[in-house]
Chain A
Amino acid sequence: MSAPFGTTVLEHFRRPRNRRPLESPTAVHEAFNPLCGDRVRIELRIVDDIVREAAFTASACAICTASASLLTERVTGLAVAGARAITERDLALSLDTNVPAARARCVALPLDAMRVALAAR
């Protein structure tokens, strides 16, 4: 499979961090892109307003999977307010690749899922 993306995307796609279901999550949301079919579920275990664990399950493209992987790494240990403050741009920079405009939604999908999960808890 040819790889138009950088090593960070490939690394997180091939060896995603935290790709598993959590045993007892306190906040969960599954986001879906109806156009491309990407689907990603973010699960968080929040204790005393701190994200103790973050994990994801996905049926998604390389960018979206890498984004979810990076996001779960990044929010683990953060206060909820800190998790909420993460932006699409933060994630895009972390991916360390030129994400085409048409694929910006792939980066944002895990973030959307996390935001809804946090809002709904």
Chain B
Amino acid sequence: MADLLEQLETLRATEPRVVMATLVAARGGSPRPLGAKLFVGEGGGGRLLGSVSIGGCVDARVVEQADRLLAEGRARELVTVVVDDAEALELGLACGAEFDLLLERIALSEPDPVVEVYAQAWRRASTGQTTFVVTNLTGEFERRVVSDAGAPGRGQFIERFAPPDTLVIVGASDVAAVLARLARMMGLRVVVVDSRERYATADRFPGADLLIGMPAEMARPYLAEGASVVLVSHDYRHELPVLREALRAPVRYVGMLAGRKRADAVRALLRDEGLSEEEIARLQAPIGLDIGGREPEEIALSIAAQLVAVREGRPIARRDQHPRVPAPA
């Protein structure tokens, strides 16, 4: 999930008030998960950020409703957007669906209780505590932040804010800089480790935690379940010490930027050091989905795509288990 508070900060620069539309229920399928948010700026021409549907067909209806809410000066409203079957065909959807959305007016030029609730949940999640925001949609409106939500009661909508998964990037290269940006947009916590402070700078890696020192030692505290480790230093001096630990840690993914020949040589060195075949087999190298890109941006994109495929358990995720497709002549 993208950083909700960052979205609000972005809007704060130009929008004194916005409507936050939250997808709270969907019948007939939804291409976006419940909890998806769309922010609509004031004044008919206000900025839009986020979405509650893919592609905007439903979003357009929500924007219309949000404009109306602001014009009428109301604080909140639960609305239903219905896409009937005929409309669905026209819109390219497989079938009709209904979406319930909670629209809430939020003040950005002054403290706002809605923002404060989400900020509290975000702060708690970022310290490692899974946190829930429970909203009563029916009866008296109420919203609270809790550590244990239990099963949703009637008319309750529960949003879960878990600590973000961590992406550890070893080597503050150009590929790393783009990958860090993509990963932040994907809602990951990004940790960049390098031994060279001239490369691992805040302006190259906005929003990332930068750790300068012995890469393996810097990475060690983050080698936990759900974490991903991407080595893009293209330099065995930093790769080997990190791989020795990462391949034995309960991380979700370990990938290394390397051609097949160099990757095999690194595997041989790891074998010499006593890593088991099972451990070595966890290393994804060459890294990324095979989309044929060469520029840092394209390589970073292929890595980001592979991280998603691994998280979702897609067969395409293991590049080395697919036949190599020759590039067109």
Q: Tell me whether A37 is interfacial, beta carbon within 8 Å.
A: yes
Q: Tell me whether B194 is interfacial, beta carbon within 8 Å.
A: yes
Residue-wise interface mask of B (198-227) relative to A, using a CB-CB cutoff of 8 A (1 in contact, 0 not): 100000000000000111110000000000
CB pair A38–B237 under 8 Å, yes or no, is yes
Which residues of B sit under 8 angstroms from A61, Cβ to Cβ?
A: 236-237
Which residues of B sit under 8 angstroms from A32, Cβ to Cβ?
A: 195
Segment with Cβ contacts to B, from A52-60, A82-90, A94-102: A52-60
CB pair B214–A59 under 8 Å, yes or no, is yes
Closest to B194 in A: A37
Which residues of B sit under 8 angstroms from A37, Cβ to Cβ?
A: 194-196, 235, 237-238
Closest to B272 in A: A14
CB pair A57–B235 under 8 Å, yes or no, is no
Count of B residues near A, CB < 8 Å? Answer: 22
Q: Tell me whether A41 is interfacial, beta carbon within 8 Å.
A: yes
CB pair B214–A30 under 8 Å, yes or no, is yes
Which B236-276 residues have C-beta < 8 A from chain A?
236-238, 241, 262, 265-266, 268-269, 272-273
Taken together as a complex, chains A and B put the C-alpha atoms of A38 and B198 apart, in Å, by 14
A61 smallest CB distance to B (angstroms):
5
CB pair A14–B214 under 8 Å, yes or no, is no
Closest to B239 in A: A59
Taken together as a complex, chains A and B put the C-alpha atoms of A58 and B242 apart, in Å, by 11
Contact of A59 among B195, B265, B266, B268 (CB under 8 A): B195
CB pair A14–B195 under 8 Å, yes or no, is no
Residue-wise interface mask of A (55-74) relative to B, using a CB-CB cutoff of 8 A (1 in contact, 0 not): 00111110011000000000
CB pair B241–A59 under 8 Å, yes or no, is yes
Which A1-43 residues have C-beta < 8 A from chain B?
1, 14-15, 30, 32, 34, 37-39, 41
CB pair A59–B269 under 8 Å, yes or no, is no
Closest to B197 in A: A34
Taken together as a complex, chains A and B put the C-alpha atoms of A37 and B273 apart, in Å, by 23
CB pair A60–B237 under 8 Å, yes or no, is yes
Which residues of B sit under 8 angstroms from A38, Cβ to Cβ?
A: 195, 237
Closest to B240 in A: A59
Closest to A36 in B: B237
CB pair A59–B238 under 8 Å, yes or no, is yes
Which residues of B sit under 8 angstroms from A64, Cβ to Cβ?
A: 237
Which residues of A sit under 8 angstroms from B216, Cβ to Cβ?
A: 59
B168 smallest CB distance to A (angstroms):
14
Closest to B264 in A: A1
Which residues of A sit under 8 angstroms from B269, Cβ to Cβ?
A: 1, 14
B253 smallest CB distance to A (angstroms):
21
CB pair A57–B265 under 8 Å, yes or no, is no
CB pair A57–B214 under 8 Å, yes or no, is yes
Which residues of A sit under 8 angstroms from B217, Cβ to Cβ?
A: 57
CB pair A39–B214 under 8 Å, yes or no, is yes
Which residues of A sit under 8 angstroms from B197, Cβ to Cβ?
A: 34
Closest to A39 in B: B195
A96 smallest CB distance to B (angstroms):
20
B149 smallest CB distance to A (angstroms):
43
- Complex A-B: 5 CB contacts under 8 Å: A1-B236, A1-B266, A37-B196, A37-B235, A59-B241
3 closest Cβ pairs, A-B complex: A1-B265, A39-B195, A37-B195
| Further contacts, 4 of them, CB under 8 A, given A34-B196, A37-B238 | A14-B269, A37-B195, A37-B237, A57-B214
